[in-house]
Amino acid sequence: MELPDPAPAHLVDPSAPDAEDVGAYRLLAADIASGVAVVAARHRRRDVAATVTGFLDVSYDPPTMLVSLFEEGRICDAVESSGAWTLSVLRRDQEGLANWLASPGNPVEGLLDGVAFRRAPHSGAPVLDGALAWFELSTVAVHTAATHRIVVGEVTAMGRGVAEAQADDPLVHYARGYRGLTR
Amino acid sequence: MELPDPAPAHLVDPSAPDAEDVGAYRLLAADIASGVAVVAARHRRRDVAATVTGFLDVSYDPPTMLVSLFEEGRICDAVESSGAWTLSVLRRDQEGLANWLASPGNPVEGLLDGVAFRRAPHSGAPVLDGALAWFELSTVAVHTAATHRIVVGEVTAMGRGVAEAQADDPLVHYARGYRGLTR
């Protein structure tokens, strides 16, 4: 049922986006709801971890996921260099943790001193205690997309950081804030 | 704060996942909350559209997104062949539309006869009326990941299918059902 008038649109020339284009995109893209996870890797005997909303379940067979990481970030370097990483999907009551691991100024040393975690079986990368679900992945491909790297991994281990009964209240990111789900 | 005991884990050999591995993964991956969108393309003078949860905002500069599509689906063929596509991010009251465009048995002809849409400015791909936000994209890369194709596109146009004031109630997918957000 095609409506007669065209959609009112903000047009963009992707070869030369200006500040207004980027601003309009940021506003609209903020309206994409997403789960929240912590991506982590063990790199040069140090634990690196960061909050992400840019991750996806890609395939069931074999179990495959991807994460999109800003190419200049510490976590991108750690994930790419180590070749193995974890995703810990956060529950709603882990908002404080999400904020801590999203802070630009958080420390390289002692980042997880106040965060309860265990080690994933293959890589030893941190798995956050209390996660709704967690996955350990082995990188199979890395693709550049604009300012980001798309890291695709196959699942080598997975589990929950919380009892099954508690696993029904995910943290959700929407419109630059955190929310919960209605029942 | 590393906890002493290892995380209880389901281990997977990605080179030979069995039915139990896939089942365990499906269960855990279902706990990743996500927004819901309709991806659409105009291909051979026909409108093709499907509900997706596997899509991401990747970069602001230039505005770049990706969608993950099952490689054997009609929509994957249409998106890849046409090189241009739209994402219409759904509002909570568009759950019926999400179900319709996710139905395996929906028709090739007349798919959008009962769906109000307009045409995107560059490609003429459908943009759903009432969408929280919509984006028109031009494909810049396609990557294979297991059973899926990761299609990366640059935004060439964008807007809302609804008044700004109504744009605060996204449809969210979680645990194989639809939900809304708490305030």
B132 pLDDT higher than 80: yes
Tell whether B177 lies on the interface with A, counting CB pairs under 8 A: no
In chain B, which residues have their Cβ closer than 8 Å to the Cβ of A14?
Answer: 62-64, 138, 154-156
Mean pLDDT of the residues in chain A = 95
Host H or E run for residue A100:
helix A95-100
**Which of B7, B114, B143 is closest, CB to CB, to A134?**
B7
Asked if A67 contacts A142 with a C-beta cutoff of 8 angstroms, the reply is no
Please list every residue in chain B whose beta carbon sits closer than 8 Å to the beta carbon of residue A170.
Answer: 31-33, 174
pLDDT of residue B105: 85
Query: Taking CB atoms and an 8 Å limit, are B55 and A32 in contact across chains?
Result: yes
pLDDT-wise least confident of A57-61, A160-164, B105-109: A160-164
Checking if the pLDDT of B165 tops 90, the result is no
3-class DSSP state of A153: strand
Give me the percent of chain A exceeding a pLDDT of 70: 99
Contacts of A61 in chain B (CB under 8 A): 17, 22, 146-147
| pLDDT grade for A105, boundaries at 50, 70 and 90 | confident
Does the beta-carbon distance from A66 to B68 stay under 8 Å? yes
Q: How far is Cα A23 from Cα B103, in angstroms, rounded to an integer? A: 36
pLDDT beyond 90 at A93:
yes
The residue to which tokens 């996204």 are assigned: B170
| Residues with Cβ within 8 Å of residue B129, at least 6 apart in sequence | A3, B116, B117, B118, B161
**pLDDT at residue A161, rounded to an integer:** 86
Closest Cα of chain A to B81: distance in Å? 20
Q: Is the pLDDT of residue A169 over 90?
A: yes
Q: Provide the pLDDT for residue A6.
A: 80
H/E element, B111: none
Average pLDDT over residues B134-161: 97
Percentage of chain B with pLDDT > 90? 90
Q: Residue A72 CB: number of other CB atoms within 10 A?
A: 10
Q: How confident is the model at residue B134 (pLDDT cuts 50, 70, 90)?
A: very high
Per-residue pLDDT tens digits for A66-80: 999 999 999 999 999
pLDDT digit string, tens, across residues B64-109: 999 999 999 999 999 999 999 999 999 999 999 999 999 888 898 9
- Mean pLDDT value across chain B: 95
CA A132, A143, B90, A176 torsion-angle sign: positive
Q: Which residues between 52 and 91 in chain A have a beta carbon less than 8 angstroms from any beta carbon of chain B?
A: 54-66, 68, 89
Q: SS3 for B22?
A: helix
Q: How far is CA B176 from the centre of its chain?
A: 15
**Interface contacts A/B by beta carbons within 8 Å:** 292
User: Which residue is closest to A153 within chain B, CA to CA?
Assistant: B145
Provide the pLDDT for residue B159. Answer: 97
Reply yes or no: is the peptide bond before residue B8 cis, omega within 30 of 0.
no
Is there a contact between A83 and A139 (Cβ–Cβ < 8 Å)?
yes
pLDDT surpassing 80 at residue A22: yes
Confidence of residue A120 (pLDDT cuts 50, 70, 90): very high
pTM listed for this prediction: 0.97
Q: Which of residues 99-138 of B touch A (CB under 8 A)?
A: 112-121, 126-127, 129, 132-136, 138
How is residue B91 annotated by DSSP?
A: B
Contacts of A25 (CB under 8 A, 6+ apart): A12, A17, B60, B63, B155, B158
Q: What's the pLDDT score for residue A104?
A: 83
pLDDT band at A49 (very low <50, low <70, confident <90, very high): very high
Closest residue, chain A, to B69 (C-alpha): A58
